[in-house]
Structure 1
Amino acid sequence: MSIYNNILVVANINSDEQTALARAMQLANKSVSKSRVTLFLSIYDFSYEMTSMLSSDEREAMRRGVVHQRKLWLENIAAPYINDDINFEVKVVWYHRPYEAIIEEVFSGNYDILIKSTHKHDFLESVIFTPTDWHLIRKCPCPVLLVKNAEWREHSNIMASVNIGSESETHQQLNVKMTEQLLNIAERFNAKPFLVSAYPTTPSNVAIELPEFDAIAYNDALRAHYLTAMKALRQEFYIHDEHTIVEEGLPEEVIPKLAKQLDASMVILGTTGRTGLSSVFIGNTAEHVIDKIDCDVLALKPEGYVSPLDPENR
C-alpha cells in the first residue's frame, strides 16, 4: 500500500505473538515500493527509580541493560517476519507514559500509520481496548490501526462508516479521506468495499410536545437526505449502489451490527480526536462504536488535525 510505506508498530510486551507486526508486514508486502517498518516498545519499571542504594549512574546502567535485553528479545521475535524487501528496525525506550512515548516517536519518525494490537477476551470473543488505545485514537496525528488476533482474509469485506448527514467541511473532507482509504485497501487485498452510514431516529418526545409535528414525514425526509448524500459520495468514487448501506439508528448500534452482518475484516472510522471536557460530557462516537466492534479498526483524523502532543505546540 503506497500510502503506508513508513509503518510504526507497537510491540506487545506480554506475548511472543506479535499480531500488530504480522499486520504491518502484510501491509508492507503489498506496497509498490520498499517499505520501512519500525517495531517500537516503551518500558518502565518504577522500582529502578527507587533504588536508593545505587547511584544515578548505576541506575542508568541498569535501565540501559533492561532496554538492551528487551531489544534483543524483540529482534529474536521479529526475525521470522523480516525480508530483504523491507527496511526493518527495533526501537526500545525507557518512558513512564507509553502513549506519550509512542506519539513522540510518530512525530520524530514522520510515520504514515501506527499499528497496535488489542486485547482479545477469549470467553466473550470481544476486543478490549486499553487506556493507551484511547489516548492514541484521540491524540495520534497519523492513522491508527488497532488489530485483533485474526488474519486479513483475501476477498473479505471491509467497511467505512461515513458521516454523510453533516454539512461540516471537516466531516465532508474526512468522508472523502475515509472512502479513499477504503478503496485503496480493498484494491490491495482483493476485498469488497462498503460505505455505511446511520441516520438518527426521530425523537418520540417531539411528537408528544408538538402534536402538529409529522414524525413520519420528517423521518422520510431525513432518510431521503442521507440516501441522496450517500449517492453523491458513492458516485464520486464509482462505488456500486449494492455496496452502500444507510440505516436508521445510533451509530454505536448500527455500525457494529453491520460489521457483524458483513463479517467485516476491518472497519474504518473517522475521529476528530476530541479531548478534555468535551470527551467526558459529549463523548466520541468513534469510541462508542469501537467498544462494540470485533474486528480490526482503522481510525482516521481529518486533514489539519493538530495533536495536543505536537512538539511545536508544547
Structure 2
Amino acid sequence: MSNFDSKQVLLVLNKAGKLDESTLLKAADTAQSRDERLTILCVLAEPDFAMHQHFLQMDSGYIKQKISEATKQTIQATVTKHCPQLSINVEISFGKLYLQAIRYTLKNPVSIVIKSAEDPTWMDSIFDSDDMHLMRKCPVPTWLINTGRHQTPGQVVVALDFKAPEEEGAISEFNRQLLDLTLTFVAKTASSITLIHACADSLADFASIWADDPETMQQQITQQEKVTKRAAMKQAHQYLLDKQILPTPVIKTRLIDGHPEESVAAFVKANNTDMLVLGSLGRTGIKGLFMGNTAESILQQIHCSVITAKPQGFESPIA
C-alpha cells in the first residue's frame, strides 16, 4: 500500500507530552484536508514500578492504565480547547519516543508523521535526538515543524536528485515521490516552490585522466550535464504546473553549483526558506537504508521546518 493512500495523520508529542498549539492546528488541518483521522501519540517514560509497588501495593499494569487514562484526559481537554470540533484518537505508550512512533507506523496506515522540532535550535544537537532517529528510520514521510518560524510554509524548497544515469532527462520515481509529497502537504499554502539541484560529482572532474585538452573537455562535459539536468528540472516544473495547484504558487527551478552538503544548506538559509522537502538521497531497494551523510549534513546546518521521505522499498530497521 502506498503511503499516500493511507488514512491516518500521526501527531507525535515531544518527550514532555506537551501539545504545541500551532503544531496541533497544522496536524488537524492536514488531516481534515485529506479526510483522514488524526491520531495523537504520547510516549511516556516507564514508571518506577518498584517504588509504586512497594509503597502503594499496585501492580505495573494498573499503574500504566491510570497514567494512560489521566494523560489522555489532559490531551483531550487541550484539543477541545483549541479545536472544539475536532475528533481525534489518542494513543499512549511507554518507552523510547522514536521507537514507539516508528512501531506505530509499522502497524497502522499512517500517511505522515508530524512533530514539533525538539528545540528552536534543534539542528545544532540533533544527531542523537528522537527527531533524527525518526528522519533516519521512519518508513513514512516525517514533518518536523520549527515552531519558532512562520506557521504557514510560504517559501518551500524541494531538493531533487539527478545522480543516476537512468534518471537523466526524466523525473525519477523518487523525485516524483518528493514532488507528490510537496503537492499533498504544503503546495496549497505555499507562496513559492523552488525546485533545486546541486551540480557536483561531475564526470568532468576526471577529464584530465584521459583528455588531451582537459580544460576544454571539462567545460564541454559540465555544459552537457547541465543541459541534461535543466531538461529534467523543466519536466519536474511542468509536472507541478500540470497539477493546477490552487491558489497557484510561484514555481521556480534552480541549478546550484557545489556539493549539496554546502550548497543546498546555503541556498535554504539565503532565501529565508520556511520548508525544505528532501529525500534520504539513497537508492531504492536497500533494506534498512539510513538517511545518507549528505542529507544529515544539510539538516545540521538549517533551522527551517523539514519534510523528509524515504525511497519506495525502504524497510525500517526498527522491528
On whether the aligned pair clears a TM of 0.5, the verdict is yes
Determine if contact 1:118/1:128 at 8 Å carries over to the other structure. Answer: no
- Give, in whole Å, the separation in 2 of the partners of 1:137 and 1:128: 14
C-alpha spacing 1:23/1:237, structure 2 compared with 1 (3 Å): closer
C-alpha spacing 1:80/1:5, structure 2 compared with 1 (3 Å): farther
Aligned partner letter, 1:114: V
Determine if contact 2:44/2:93 at 8 Å carries over to the other structure. Answer: yes
Unaligned 5+ residue runs, structure 2? 243-248
Determine if contact 1:159/1:182 at 8 Å carries over to the other structure. Answer: no
2:43 aligns with 42
Determine if contact 1:25/1:81 at 8 Å carries over to the other structure. Answer: no
1:183 aligns with 183
Aligned partner letter, 1:145: W
* Number of equivalent positions: 298
- Give, in whole Å, the separation in 1 of the partners of 2:14 and 2:124: 15
- Give, in whole Å, the separation in 1 of the partners of 2:13 and 2:125: 17
With 132-141 and 36-45 compared, the bigger mean Cα shift is at: 132-141
1:73 aligns with 2:88: no
Unaligned 5+ residue runs, structure 1? none
Q: Deviations over 1:174-214 (max 9, x none)?
A: 10111122234454215322211101065998577667433
2:98 aligns with 99
Q: Deviations over 1:193-249 (max 9, x none)?
A: 221110106599857766743333333333233222212332344389960011111
Determine if contact 1:147/1:296 at 8 Å carries over to the other structure. Answer: yes
2:119 aligns with 120
Determine if contact 2:14/2:118 at 8 Å carries over to the other structure. Answer: no
Alignment of 1:199-214 (within 5 A): 199-200=199-200, 206=206, 212=212, 213-214=214-215
TM-score by length of 1: 0.79
Aligned partner letter, 2:11: V
State the 1:113 CA deviation.
0.7
1:258 aligns with 2:267: yes
- Give, in whole Å, the separation in 1 of the partners of 2:12 and 2:25: 11
Determine if contact 2:117/2:144 at 8 Å carries over to the other structure. Answer: yes
1:285 aligns with 2:286: no
1:158 aligns with 156
1:10 aligns with 12
2:109 aligns with 110
- Give, in whole Å, the separation in 2 of the partners of 1:22 and 1:247: 35
With 233-242 and 294-303 compared, the bigger mean Cα shift is at: 233-242
- Give, in whole Å, the separation in 2 of the partners of 1:75 and 1:211: 69
Q: Deviations over 1:266-291 (max 9, x none)?
A: 11111249787x85xx9432222222
- Give, in whole Å, the separation in 2 of the partners of 1:248 and 1:270: 19
Which of residues 223, 226, 234 is equivalent to 1:223? 226
C-alpha spacing 1:62/1:157, structure 2 compared with 1 (3 Å): same
State the 1:43 CA deviation.
1.3
Determine if contact 1:121/1:128 at 8 Å carries over to the other structure. Answer: no
1:147 aligns with 145
- Give, in whole Å, the separation in 2 of the partners of 1:142 and 1:90: 19
1:301 aligns with 310
Q: Deviations over 1:18-49 (max 9, x none)?
A: 543232023234x163x311111111236335
- Give, in whole Å, the separation in 2 of the partners of 1:167 and 1:204: 15
Determine if contact 1:165/1:226 at 8 Å carries over to the other structure. Answer: no
TM-score by length of 2: 0.78
State the 1:298 CA deviation.
0.7
- Give, in whole Å, the separation in 2 of the partners of 1:147 and 1:275: 28
